[in-house]
Chain A
Amino acid sequence: MAAPESGDGNNGAARMVTLISSDNTRFEVEAAAASLSQTLQLTILDGGGGGGDGIPLPNVDSATLSKVLEYCIKHAPAAANGGAPNATAVDRAELERFDNEFVNIDQSVLYSLIMAAHNLEIEGLQSLVAKKVADMIKGKSPMEIRRTLGFPDPTPEEQAEMNAHMLEYGWAYE
Chain B
Amino acid sequence: MEASSSRSRSGSTTQKRCRAVGAAGSGLTVQALNDDALRSVFSCLDDHFDLARCSAVCSSWNRIIKTADVMRDLYYKRNPQARGSSSDISMKSYFEELAMDEHVSSLSRGSAEVYQWSGHPLRATLCRMKSGLILTGVGDKILRLWSAESCKFMNEYNVPNAKTLVDFDFDENKVVGLTSSQFCIWRRNEPRSIFQSGGASFHHGSCMSYADPEVVIGCEDGRAFVYDMYSRSCSSIFR
Contacts and interface: CB of A to CB of B under 8 A. Distances in A.
Interface of A: 3-7, 21-23, 25-29, 58-67, 70, 106-109, 111-116, 118-119, 126-127, 130-131, 133-134, 137-142, 145-146, 149-151, 154, 158, 161-162, 165-166, 168-169, 171-173
B23 A63 contact: yes
B117 to A, nearest CB: 21
B29 A142 contact: no
Chain B interface residue count: which class?
35 or more
A172 to B, nearest CB: 3
B29 A66 contact: no
B1 A108 contact: no
B226 to A, nearest CB: 29
13 contacts: A58-B21, A61-B22, A64-B23, A65-B3, A106-B7, A107-B30, A111-B28, A118-B40, A134-B42, A142-B56, A168-B55, A172-B53, A173-B53
Contact of A131 (B6, B32, B44): B44
A62 B1 CA distance: 11
B195 interface: no
A139 B44 CA distance: 13
Contact of B24 (A5, A67, A119, A154): A67
A25 B54 CA distance: 38
B81 interface: no
B189 interface: no
A58 B25 CA distance: 16
A141 B186 CA distance: 38
